């Protein structure tokens, strides 16, 4: 199988590529990535365990823009399956400048879909639960594939728009596509601007962790390996045109997550600072993944958030060279915004 993975140098994408190469010796992977600040050139080091040298590797990197049709079309033409991870995904950045989010998340998805329509390639679209907006903290409900879209930021609005493009191309042009909307991922290779790795690396760097507001906002956490295992399940067994929600029943508020990280790292429970809350900070996300579990038989490996966090802390402790170079700049940028 020839696989094209867009955004394969980002957090979730690179974990997908690494796990695919490790578990599926019959798959060759082309990664298309723009190599923005969120990508790390070292993330694919040693990713292909079967390679005797660069010429024998089952993975290659093409540096390019997913919105550039001249780059995208020949890559789609040679692929059996396209998995579209590429996205601008940081809410704070979308509030500062929405334009890259429109270009990558909307124009990029359109460009891919047009190439897929021309070549008849199987396509899987990676999305987020943030397209559904948020839930009240005391709401017993959870997001389902039928929940109306109600995005609240430029990031989630452009991801919602990309989902709707896929649905329209399935209906109008019969493209062979599936969609997955996932809850908050955590795990190795996640950029230190994100909530969990920021707290972990702050402790490792001798800095105090930072908590938005009172930390009451609830997220539904899933280990990245579980997310990517579910993606392969959908590619192989999912029904064309369907949307599947990926979640591991990992609801926890930010304060609890931070205190768990502190405990696991041997720090006092109050060893953090409260900082200015994010504008329009969604209250609660919660995924109902019963369709994925019942229809396709998928179950998560990391059902316990605590064990997944322990593994994640261990990875950042053992891979300081991967994240240290960019850490100071990220913290400086947050400090300028009072965060």
Residue 65 among the catalytic residues: no
Of the candidates 33, 65, 88, 155, the residue annotated as catalytic is 155
Find residue 263's DSSP bridge partners: none
Return the structure tokens found at 254: 């930010």
Of the candidates 33, 48, 129, 229, the residue annotated as catalytic is 129
Task: Give the number of other CB atoms < 10 A from CB of residue 207.
Answer: 15
DSSP structure string for 50-68: T-SSGGG-SEEEEE--TT-
What are the backbone angles phi and psi of residue 265, rounded to the nearest 5°? -100, 10
Asked whether the beta carbons of 57 and 48 are under 8 A apart, the reply is yes
Return the structure tokens found at 197: 């790795």
Q: How far apart are CA 86 and CA 35, in angstroms?
A: 10
Considering only CA atoms, give the Rg of the chain. 19
Our CA angle for 128, 5, 322, nearest 5°, is 85
Residues present in the chain in total: 339
Q: How far apart are CA 333 and CA 106, in angstroms?
A: 27
Kindly list the distances between the CA atom of residue 103 and the CA atoms of 141, 159, 164, in Å, as whole numbers in the listed order: 33, 11, 16
Of the candidates 65, 88, 130, 288, the residue annotated as catalytic is 130
Residue 149 among the catalytic residues: no
Return the structure tokens found at 331: 């913290």
SS3 assignment, position 200 = helix
Asked whether the beta carbons of 222 and 182 are under 8 A apart, the reply is yes
Q: How far apart are CA 163 and CA 171, in angstroms?
A: 13
Residue 229 among the catalytic residues: no
Q: How far apart are CA 191 and CA 17, in angstroms?
A: 17
As annotated, the active-site residues are 129-130, 155
């Amino acid at each position: 199988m020839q696989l094209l993975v867009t955004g394969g140098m980002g957090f979730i994408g690179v974990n997908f590529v690494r796990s695919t190469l490790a578990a599926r010796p019959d798959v060759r992977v082309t990664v298309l990535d723009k190599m923005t600040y969120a990508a790390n050139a070292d993330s694919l080091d040693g990713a292909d365990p079967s390679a005797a040298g660069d010429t024998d590797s089952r993975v290659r990197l093409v540096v390019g823009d997913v919105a550039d049709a001249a780059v995208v079309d020949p890559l789609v033409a040679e692929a059996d399956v396209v998995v579209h991870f590429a996205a601008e995904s940081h809410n704070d950045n979308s509030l500062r400048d929405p334009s890259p989010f429109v270009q990558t998340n909307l124009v990029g998805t359109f460009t891919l879909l047009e190439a897929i329509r021309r070549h008849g390639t199987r396509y899987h679209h990676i999305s987020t639960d943030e397209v559904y907006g948020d839930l009240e903290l005391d709401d017993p409900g959870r997001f389902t594939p039928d929940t109306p879209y109600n995005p609240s930021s430029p990031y989630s609005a452009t991801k919602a728009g990309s989902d709707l493009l896929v649905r329209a191309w399935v209906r109008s042009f019969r493209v062979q596509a599936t969609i997955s909307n996932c809850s908050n991922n955590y795990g190795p290779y996640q950029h230190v601007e994100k909530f969990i790795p920021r707290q972990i690396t702050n402790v490792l760097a001798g800095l105090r962790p930072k908590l938005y507001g009172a930390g009451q906002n609830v997220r539904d956490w899933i280990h990245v390996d579980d997310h990517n295992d579910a993606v392969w399940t959908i590619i192989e067994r999912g029904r064309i045109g369907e949307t599947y929600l990926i979640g591991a029943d990992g609801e926890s508020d930010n304060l609890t997550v931070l205190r768990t990280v502190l405990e696991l790292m041997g720090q006092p429970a109050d060893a953090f600072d409260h900082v200015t809350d994010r504008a329009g900070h969604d209250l609660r996300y919660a995924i109902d993944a019963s369709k994925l579990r019942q229809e396709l038989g998928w179950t998560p490996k990391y059902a316990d958030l605590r064990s997944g966090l322990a593994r994640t802390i261990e990875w950042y402790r053992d891979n300081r060279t991967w994240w240290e170079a960019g850490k100071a700049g990220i913290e400086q940028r947050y400090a300028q915004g009072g965060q």
